[in-house]
Amino acid sequence: MKRSAAKMSDTKNVSASTTSQVRFGGVGGQGIVLAGRLLGLAAAIFDGKEAVCTQSYGPEARGGASKTDVIISDKPVDYPFVIEADVLAVLFQEAYVKFRPSLKAGGTLIIDTELVTPAEDDKDVIGIPATKIAENLGTRLATNVVILGYVVGKTNVVSRDSMVEAIRTIMKPKIVDLNIKALDAGISLAQSDGVS
Amino acid sequence: MKRSAAKMSDTKNVSASTTSQVRFGGVGGQGIVLAGRLLGLAAAIFDGKEAVCTQSYGPEARGGASKTDVIISDKPVDYPFVIEADVLAVLFQEAYVKFRPSLKAGGTLIIDTELVTPAEDDKDVIGIPATKIAENLGTRLATNVVILGYVVGKTNVVSRDSMVEAIRTIMKPKIVDLNIKALDAGISLAQSDGVS
Amino acid sequence: MTVTEQIIHPAANLHPIDHLLRADRLPHILCPGCGIGTVIHAYAHAIAGSGIDEDKHVCVSGIGCSGRAAGYMNVDSYHSTHGRALPFALGIAVYKPELNVTVISGDGDLTAIGGNHLIHAARRNVNLNVICINNFNYGMTGGQVGPTTPIGAKGTTAPNGAVEHPFNLPYLAKATGAVFVARWTVLHVREFQEAILRSMEKTGFCFIEVLAPCPTSFGRANNIGDGLHEMEIYRERCRIENGASNLEELDIDLIDESKSITVGNFVDIERTPFTP
Amino acid sequence: MTVTEQIIHPAANLHPIDHLLRADRLPHILCPGCGIGTVIHAYAHAIAGSGIDEDKHVCVSGIGCSGRAAGYMNVDSYHSTHGRALPFALGIAVYKPELNVTVISGDGDLTAIGGNHLIHAARRNVNLNVICINNFNYGMTGGQVGPTTPIGAKGTTAPNGAVEHPFNLPYLAKATGAVFVARWTVLHVREFQEAILRSMEKTGFCFIEVLAPCPTSFGRANNIGDGLHEMEIYRERCRIENGASNLEELDIDLIDESKSITVGNFVDIERTPFTP
Amino acid sequence: MDLSLAQVPVGRVHVIAERCKQCDFCITYCPTDVLIYSEETNAKGYHYPMVAEGKESACVHCRFCDLICPELAIYTTDVADEEDASGESDAG
Amino acid sequence: MDLSLAQVPVGRVHVIAERCKQCDFCITYCPTDVLIYSEETNAKGYHYPMVAEGKESACVHCRFCDLICPELAIYTTDVADEEDASGESDAG
Amino acid sequence: MPDSAIAAKVQADRKPRVLTGTHFMLGDHACAEGALAAGLDFFGGYPITPSTEIAELLARRLPPLGGRFVQMEDELASMAAIIGASAAGARSFTATSGPGFSLMMENIGLAAMLEIPCVIADVQRASPSTGLPTMVGQSDILQARWGSHGDYGIIAYCPSSPQECFDLTVRAFNAADQYRVPVFVLMDEIIGHMTERVIIPAADDLPFVPRKGPRQAPGGEPFLSYAPDEDMIPPIAHAGEGYRVHMTGLTHDERGYPALDADTHNKLINRLVDKIRLNAPDIVMYEEIAVEDADTIVIAFGCTARSARHAVIQARSEGLKCGLLRLITVWPFPEQRIRELIKRGKVKRFIVPEINLGQLRREVERLTQLPVERLNHAGGAMPVPDAILEMIRS
Amino acid sequence: MPDSAIAAKVQADRKPRVLTGTHFMLGDHACAEGALAAGLDFFGGYPITPSTEIAELLARRLPPLGGRFVQMEDELASMAAIIGASAAGARSFTATSGPGFSLMMENIGLAAMLEIPCVIADVQRASPSTGLPTMVGQSDILQARWGSHGDYGIIAYCPSSPQECFDLTVRAFNAADQYRVPVFVLMDEIIGHMTERVIIPAADDLPFVPRKGPRQAPGGEPFLSYAPDEDMIPPIAHAGEGYRVHMTGLTHDERGYPALDADTHNKLINRLVDKIRLNAPDIVMYEEIAVEDADTIVIAFGCTARSARHAVIQARSEGLKCGLLRLITVWPFPEQRIRELIKRGKVKRFIVPEINLGQLRREVERLTQLPVERLNHAGGAMPVPDAILEMIRS
């Protein structure tokens, strides 16, 4: 088809759509891009929602603050970046400073207590020992999935089963189980807070 | 000045201008470009007329028919190529075949008898032994100036003195005299015809 | 046995090798005494002698007088852009390894603007036969000096003589990885033809430099006279040294008459060819 | 004589050589364990030690991680386009011969896309000091193989290992005419610095290849681990042979642990420099 | 230069006059000096090679005139071959 | 590798902590093993070098840690020079 | 050993040529998968951000499928190599970004002149010069049309999603072969680095338009590589097929031989331009939302069209009479459709948001004296929906 | 020995830098003499028809005058070298034609981004690709504006005679230095290979606009290479002057340091474009004949303008109300003047003859809905006056 004319119905009550904007902030090598892709994959393929994942690259391959945005909605996602984050999860001090303003009032801020020290006046910060948990599971490389699990457990933006499927789809078989453990550790930690 | 607006008077009776279109036809290496530049130089600088000289290049450095056009007028010359030649001087058979049609009815056709054999039905061809004359002067390299001299003598499109000045201006000192001889040989041959 | 007579053929017809040339385009545009025609001629004979299906020969050229070579060969032939004959040919040779691809182009095309592709094609050992026609200058544009112009030789862009050290092409080809390297002149037409045949036999990057007269531009600028005079320089000063080991010493000095010009087949080795 | 204490300086301040760096731009963007910073550092020391007015030093770079070098040098410095650092620098050096122009760029920039300018600048013997930082791959774009990647080494565009024969850069530089040719590693920082000084003294085309770790891209792809591990490879396998005559045999094989890596100052000759 | 000959056959000279540009190569390098220039010129005005008087049996079919010719304007055939009545020329 | 020393002075180690990226070069290649990592990390989260306990007089000011450092994050001065009260550092 | 290497790769990677199914895929990867699905035979490229992921995926995927992946020494070589491979019959492809695209311009002109099909993906970044290599731009639009010297025709697709990166790359290969022309996939960094759902159909459901080959056997009458059919496209014969073709960047006759005269040139170049211009109705693609009664029409492409769509739908929900014309082909430009919309007399103004300083806007201005309002950013960021919404409301 | 060579040249050639006087001169040579008269210091070039005569003359004339002539290995190197020389303070120049112009595109973008002055002569030939190397074209007009990736500003002059080849080349060097921008002299083969009277004024009568240098001594506060004055042009400091400048093709701040963010990029690139766009009134040049009351206005440039002039004067003598707007600068395009002419309400149509398939015509169409009639030839021949006259009459 050369041309597709959208029905007017397409243009009705778009504002009714429910959309979650999730941002991961960190530094090259921490796997936050992977975290974002896992979340988006789980939403778009296994939860049947609409999802877009984007990331910002700096010139540094290492050492610069970078971010990954995931937008999840029940309607097609047009603008692919976070405008006001519902959830901001950060694993790097510079990233905390740079992206903190993008969290909407009342949004969920999650940090790794070992890697980030929030400003004194920063209220309602959820600090979790993601790195420690990952180390206890055998490798700090799983830190990204621990915090991802926490986001999932906290927000239910996607189902745990879909996350597991996403992990199985993307990751090498030999590290799948480890990462499912990391995921569940994050989820249970979130739920044990009893916040969600 | 950013902008020059021509007076309307500029646009009056342009057709009144007298213009001569001279074409030299030959082959790379015969010096027809030089012949054209000498003629244009004499007209534009030493006779105070308007003159433009253009040439056509083929892909061949040697062996292809090429031409040099000289337009001489008492008004600025706009279109720089021969449309209908008043004079056509050719030194190469292919050039004769290719450019003969560009001569206007009643125009002057000059050929080197040694280098060009005109079509049987071609009337009013002026054949001159330019190469022979040049050889007698010491080098066939002067053939181009002999035929140029004939054009000048025949048409008086520029003065002999201006031609001499042009030769002195362009040519290396040690070949100036030779070429003036060649020029005069052409001129006197033309005038001896008593045609002009 | 009868005595010889001689047969004058009409223009249309027919040299025995014409079937490998686009004979309807002859005579070609090249100047009297230019050596490029002899290279075209030798390549045609090499195709005929290669024992390889004529339809499997491909000729690629760049831009310039030598770049016109492809246009006269009656095989699949491509006249590409200035300097890009080698990557163009790489595309053909890599995609259809069954083809025998020969690049014929000039020194300016292959070593000035095309120099990067030359060293990388040699490094990769792409299966190509390269015939680099070296006439020591840019002929098509009227005789500018280039990276092969001997020091002191004149050109329109070096009216007082070239001051840049020229490339020693066989050495450059060897240093960058060519598996067959030769230098001949168009006067050494039999040896040159043999070298082309060898390059067609071999798999890998083969480089043949062939010196050719350019009477109209280089010859005139350097008082060499016509093509025959440059051929005479080759005859008088060329020294055949097949397998010469001292490639770094094979610079060409056309000006100093005491200097000899070494020609021959210099390199013939095996190295893994490029098959991505 | 007192015992040593140690002084922890605040971020702003101040290494003794900082005046030759754009210290306000430090820390630079290069990865932990990357060797490029050591090259920048060595070049700064060489400027200081050259005895040449700092204002007469010029640094030109191309594109890539190594191409960022110019941006950190507190001399007149130019970050040009990919592959064009050499002709850009030629323009400066030819127009202002009183300047001491150093080109610092990567293997990909100088020998892949920039290869033609390298061989022609060497052929002409342009008065330039070239520091070619060889980290065996394209770092900035994430670890693609290039013309210096050893056969068998992995990169994102050669997941099963590079199959192309790499350049032997000292041999290429010599074969095309460089008057000073050296290869060192960033571990040989003192010798490397001496080589830079020598190139600053000499008039003509000087080429220094310096091997530098790229832990993020090349190291990770080839299980070398971090920058220190690549430095350890240099320490274990480099053999110093100044004036080595067999340049054609100086290929680098990082993978085969039995192969040594020859480093040293190989060529130091005089040849008419390019002064058009 | 290698002008040695395999055997000494008798050759017939064939000239494609209109292709000739008078470069002199064939005339100069004929090992048995068979060739001279024609009186007449071709359409482009060039004199082309022809067999000199008295040289009618001198051509040894070494093919150098053929191979060196930049214009593909000359070649030779082996008279013996022709007597074997092999009509088509396979000088290539 | 040439790590030979001209003389054996006593050096003072200077560290610009915020530039360090913990590449390990200075610590590994210090000929007298003067350096160890700090407990604390800098703003970017890297541990930086410091003089090990008991090594306070071990630095011989060979400057290798300085020259090899990709970050210009460390250098040494000659204590003797300082006692000549030459304030400015000319390690370069 | 390279053969064994290929064998090894086949072991290592058993994935089929067409990854039929539903994926959450990076735009650059979707483009590369589209090339594979279209039957890619030869890739010649050079690393450059933000296009490198295309080459990296093909380096893994193409050789096990029997194709050839070559990392060339530079972009000039990449472009020349894909033309050469295509001259031998390969579906060939390269991917680059602005600086590399500039280096390819001379040989893009050669491909146009030789009428050798090839596909070039340009993942646009913030330009000019080195600019912001990792950040978005849409400023190669006019370069894609006019970047090589002289007049010639090309086709350029602008995907707005990873799905379109796949679909339009497949289409690009078909268009290149159908029209014997270089075809561009003009992506931008945001689309190339965006991960989203991509649905890849079954291999048999993919469109495939083969090249028109000779209708004569080799060896007979000379084959005319440049004798056009009524569609203005000549059949093509490839190296090694026995037709003894000649192709030259010089002005040439139907046989392909140099013909250095003005008339031949004028005839040839007009055909090169007209074969795209006059076939535009079959080539042009766009998507429309609610343009029927719109007094304000937003014209957008690439990532910018996503914000435009959001703004238009929002504005409609506020009762504003606006619509979106999303360009899928920027070249040929959908002149005819825009003239139709204007002729209806309902539209009062156009809004053209782009991540450049107003390149496509110029094309719209040629067609109308109605206000053409601009929303431009030189590069590094895409317009937020609210910025476009504000202009619609104003 | 090269020095002695130069000495020898000085012996051989005592001609002064400025050939004051009246000459019968080739267009290419007039361009080269213009460069010398403007104070050319460095030429880097590569042979290409029909521009080669420019390089050949400079090879003879420049070294004896103390300048540097370098024949580079290719056009990419030529362009990079003249930028480098200019960064060191040289008035630098290269000359080429279509194919070489395409190869220069990437580094033309660098010159624009670094704001390093340089002059490029493009002697246009029949294109695309190799085309007709020895025959005329005018089809690099839009490439000159859009050929490099991204948005940037340039200036382009189109001489119609050897005299203007001289005059406009002098002007090009001044404009390049005044606006810190690459400037093109867009000649065509007919003008370049035409010999006509050229009057060269006394050296003191030649305009000379120097570069704005730093207003501070070196060694003090950091010099800001990219801090613009009110005219939007920053002063420039050169290599070796002690200012420790840094220049990068990356997006940069006023100090010249990389600043990789969208806002800096947007500000910088808008200035690069606006410094030409907003200074256009001072840059634009055109010549008018009898436009005052014209209902038909012919817009032409280069060699085509000569036939147009002849046709317009002829038509006027026949009483037809027509006029000629001859463009001397094609970029910036004289938008303002054409809008003025339209606003007068007298003009009913425009005729745009060009030796391309309608490139400049597009610019006119952007400004008006009046008929813009085309007279196009793809290349190899210039329109005869009668062809234009016919259109005026019709």
**Local confidence band at B1 (pLDDT 50, 70, 90 cut-offs):** very low
CA dist., res. C183 & res. H232, Å (int): 58
Residue E6 confidence (pLDDT) above 50 = no
Would you call C144 and H8 a contact, using CB atoms and an 8 Å cutoff? no
The CA distances from residue H306 to B17, D86, H123, H300, in Å, are: 16, 43, 17, 9
**pLDDT tens digits for G178-235?**
999 999 999 999 999 999 999 999 999 999 999 999 999 999 999 999 999 999 999 9
Q: What is the reported pLDDT for G193?
A: 97
Kindly give, in sequence order, each residue whose CB lies less than 8 Å from that of residue H121, ignoring residues fewer than 6 positions away. Answer: H31, H51, H54, H93, H94, H95, H96, H169, H184, H185, H187
Residues of C (163-202) whose Cβ lies below 8 Å from H: 163
Q: What is the reported pLDDT for D9?
A: 58
The CA distances from residue G182 to B74, C45, C61, G116, in Å, are: 52, 36, 21, 7
Percent of chain G with pLDDT over 70: 97
**Local confidence band at G13 (pLDDT 50, 70, 90 cut-offs):** low
Residue C3 confidence (pLDDT) above 90 = no
Average pLDDT, chain A: 89
Check if the beta carbon of residue G171 is closer than 8 Å to that of residue G157: yes
Q: What is the reported pLDDT for E9?
A: 78
DSSP label at residue C138: B
Shortest CA distance to A94 belongs to which of A129, A149, A56, A130? A56
Q: What is the mean pLDDT of residues E51-72?
A: 95
Would you call G1 and D163 a contact, using CB atoms and an 8 Å cutoff? yes
CA dist., res. B157 & res. G159, Å (int): 67
Average pLDDT, chain D: 94
Q: Which chain A residues contact residue H258 at CB under 8 A?
A: 59
Q: What is the reported pLDDT for E10?
A: 87
At residue F59, φ and ψ (nearest 5 deg) are -65, 130
Q: Strand pairing of B65-73 and B50-56? A: antiparallel
Would you call C125 and D165 a contact, using CB atoms and an 8 Å cutoff? yes
**Lowest mean per-residue pLDDT among A24-28, G139-143, G161-165:** A24-28
- Chains contacting E with at least 3 CB pairs below 8 Å? B, C
- Our CA-based measurement puts residue D125 at a distance from the nearest CA of chain F, in whole angstroms, of 30
**pLDDT tens digits for G254-276?**
999 999 999 999 999 999 999 99
Return the residue of D nearest to F1 by Cα. D188
**Local confidence band at H218 (pLDDT 50, 70, 90 cut-offs):** very high
Q: What is the reported pLDDT for E7?
A: 55
CA dist., res. H9 & res. G383, Å (int): 61
Q: What is the mean pLDDT of residues B187-196?
A: 77
Give the SS3 label for residue H182: strand
CA dist., res. D7 & res. F50, Å (int): 9
CA dist., res. G9 & res. G21, Å (int): 23
Shortest CA distance to G334 belongs to which of G373, G292, G299? G299
Residue G350 confidence (pLDDT) above 60 = yes
CA dist., res. G273 & res. G277, Å (int): 6
Residue H267 confidence (pLDDT) above 70 = yes
**pLDDT tens digits for A42-56?**
999 999 999 999 998
Q: What is the reported pLDDT for F4?
A: 44
Token pair 């008006």 in the structure block, residue? H368
Residue D173 confidence (pLDDT) above 50 = yes
CA C230 to chain CA centroid, nearest Å: 16
Q: What is the reported pLDDT for D257?
A: 86
Q: What is the reported pLDDT for A123?
A: 84
**Does the CB of E33 have a partner CB in chain C at under 8 Å?**
no
Residues in G whose CB is inside 8 Å of some CB of A read 22-24, 49-50, 133-134, 190, 193-197, 284-291, 303, 306-307, 309-310, 312-314, 316-317, 382, 384-385
**Lowest mean per-residue pLDDT among G1-5, G347-351, G388-392, H261-265:** G1-5
Check if the beta carbon of residue G392 is closer than 8 Å to that of residue G351: yes
Annotate G345-377 with DSSP letters as a single string. S---EEEEEESSSSHHHHHHHHH-SS-EEEEE-
**Local confidence band at H2 (pLDDT 50, 70, 90 cut-offs):** very low
At residue H270, φ and ψ (nearest 5 deg) are -60, -35
b/e per residue E49-82 (b: at least 16 CB within 10 A): bbbbeebbbbbbbbbbbbbbbbbbbbbbbbbebe
DSSP label at residue F44: T
**pLDDT tens digits for D195-227?**
999 999 999 999 999 999 999 999 999 999 899
Structure tokens at G173: 């290969």
Q: What is the mean pLDDT of residues G4-33?
A: 79
Q: What is the reported pLDDT for C9?
A: 58
Nearest by CB: H88 against D55, D95, D120:
D95
Average pLDDT, chain C: 94
CA dist., res. G387 & res. G390, Å (int): 5
**Local confidence band at E84 (pLDDT 50, 70, 90 cut-offs):** low
Q: What is the mean pLDDT of residues H128-154?
A: 98
Structure tokens at B50: 């308007």
CA dist., res. D129 & res. D208, Å (int): 8
Annotate chain D with DSSP letters as a single string. -PPP-EEEE-TT---TTGGGBTGGG-S-SPPTT-SHHHHHHHHHHHHHHS-S-GGGEEEEE-SSTGGGGGGGBSSEEEE--TT-HHHHHHHHHHH-TTSEEEEEEEHIIIIITTHHHHHHHHHHT-SEEEEEEE-SSBTTTT-B--TTSPTT--BTTBTT---SPPP-HHHHHHHHT-SEEEEEETTSHHHHHHHHHHHHHSSSEEEEEEE---IIIIIHHTT--SHHHHHHHHHHHEEE-TT-S-GGG----SS-TT--EEEEEEEE--------
Q: What is the mean pLDDT of residues D253-260?
A: 87
Q: What is the reported pLDDT for F43?
A: 81
To which H or E segment does residue G157 belong?
A: strand G155-157
Nearest by CB: H24 against B6, B37, B80:
B37
Would you call B54 and H133 a contact, using CB atoms and an 8 Å cutoff? no
Q: Strand pairing of F35-41 and G21-26? A: unpaired
Q: What is the reported pLDDT for H205?
A: 97
CA dist., res. G283 & res. H176, Å (int): 42
The CA distances from residue A147 to A31, A67, A131, A154, A185, in Å, are: 11, 14, 9, 10, 9
Q: What is the reported pLDDT for B56?
A: 87
CA dist., res. D225 & res. D218, Å (int): 9
Specify burial of residue D232 (Cβ count, 10 A radius: 0-12, 13-18, 19+). middle
**Does the CB of B92 have a partner CB in chain E at under 8 Å?**
yes
CA dist., res. H74 & res. C114, Å (int): 8
**pLDDT tens digits for D95-153?**
999 999 999 999 999 999 999 999 999 999 999 999 999 999 999 999 999 999 999 99
Residue D235 confidence (pLDDT) above 80 = yes
Residue G96 confidence (pLDDT) above 60 = yes
**pLDDT tens digits for C65-109?**
999 999 999 999 999 999 999 999 999 999 999 999 999 999 999
Annotate G298-318 with DSSP letters as a single string. EEE-TTHHHHHHHHHHHHHHT
Check if the beta carbon of residue H301 is closer than 8 Å to that of residue H329: no
Q: What is the reported pLDDT for E89?
A: 38
Q: What is the mean pLDDT of residues G144-173?
A: 98
Residues in D whose CB is inside 8 Å of some CB of A read 27, 29-32, 139-140, 142, 216-217
b/e per residue A69-100 (b: at least 16 CB within 10 A): bbbbbebbbbbbbbeebbbbbbbbbbbbebbb
Q: What is the reported pLDDT for D6?
A: 62
Average pLDDT, chain G: 96
For residue H207, is it left (φ>0), alpha (ψ between -120 and 50) or beta?
A: beta
b/e per residue C80-101 (b: at least 16 CB within 10 A): bbbbbbbbbbbbbbbbbeebbb
Q: Which chain D residues contact residue G1 at CB under 8 A?
A: 163
Q: What is the reported pLDDT for E85?
A: 47
Q: What is the mean pLDDT of residues E27-45?
A: 93
**pLDDT tens digits for F80-92?**
877 664 444 333 3
Return the residue of G nearest to D80 by Cα. G130
Q: Sheet with C128-134: list strands edge to edge.
A: C238-240, C261-268, C180-185, C205-211, C128-134, C100-106, C57-61, C76-79, G246-248
Q: Which chain C residues contact residue E68 at CB under 8 A?
A: 38, 186-187, 189
- Our CA-based measurement puts residue D173 at a distance from the nearest CA of chain C, in whole angstroms, of 10
**pLDDT tens digits for H219-256?**
999 999 999 999 999 999 999 999 999 999 999 999 99
Check if the beta carbon of residue H191 is closer than 8 Å to that of residue H161: yes
CA dist., res. H159 & res. D75, Å (int): 41
**Local confidence band at C225 (pLDDT 50, 70, 90 cut-offs):** confident
- Our CA-based measurement puts residue F71 at a distance from the nearest CA of chain D, in whole angstroms, of 6
- Please calculate the CA angle D206-D211-D213 and round it to the nearest 5 degrees: 150
Q: What is the mean pLDDT of residues C33-59?
A: 98
Give the SS3 label for residue H268: helix
Percent of chain A with pLDDT over 70: 86
Q: What is the mean pLDDT of residues C12-40?
A: 92
Q: What is the reported pLDDT for E27?
A: 97
Would you call A58 and H258 a contact, using CB atoms and an 8 Å cutoff? no
Q: Sheet with F11-16: list strands edge to edge.
A: D6-9, F11-16, F74-78
At residue G158, φ and ψ (nearest 5 deg) are -125, 90
**Local confidence band at F3 (pLDDT 50, 70, 90 cut-offs):** very low
Sign of CA dihedral G223, G224, G229, G231: positive
Q: What is the reported pLDDT for F48?
A: 96
**Residues pairing with G322 in the sheet:** G296
Q: Which chain C residues contact residue D112 at CB under 8 A?
A: 120
Residue H277 confidence (pLDDT) above 70 = yes
Q: What is the mean pLDDT of residues G298-319?
A: 98
Task: Tell which wins on pLDDT, F89 or G340.
Answer: G340
**Local confidence band at H14 (pLDDT 50, 70, 90 cut-offs):** confident
Check if the beta carbon of residue H363 is closer than 8 Å to that of residue H374: no
Q: What is the reported pLDDT for B17?
A: 61
Shortest CA distance to G133 belongs to which of A33, D146, A58? A58
**Does the CB of H150 have a partner CB in chain G at under 8 Å?**
yes
pTM of the model: 0.95
Residue G245 confidence (pLDDT) above 50 = yes
Q: What is the reported pLDDT for G36?
A: 98
Residue B177 confidence (pLDDT) above 80 = yes
Nearest by CB: E21 against B63, B93, B115:
B63
Touching, C vs E (3+ Cβ pairs under 8 A): yes
Q: Strand pairing of A50-56 and G195-200? A: antiparallel
CA dist., res. H223 & res. H378, Å (int): 49
Check if the beta carbon of residue B140 is closer than 8 Å to that of residue B131: yes
CA dist., res. E32 & res. H375, Å (int): 64
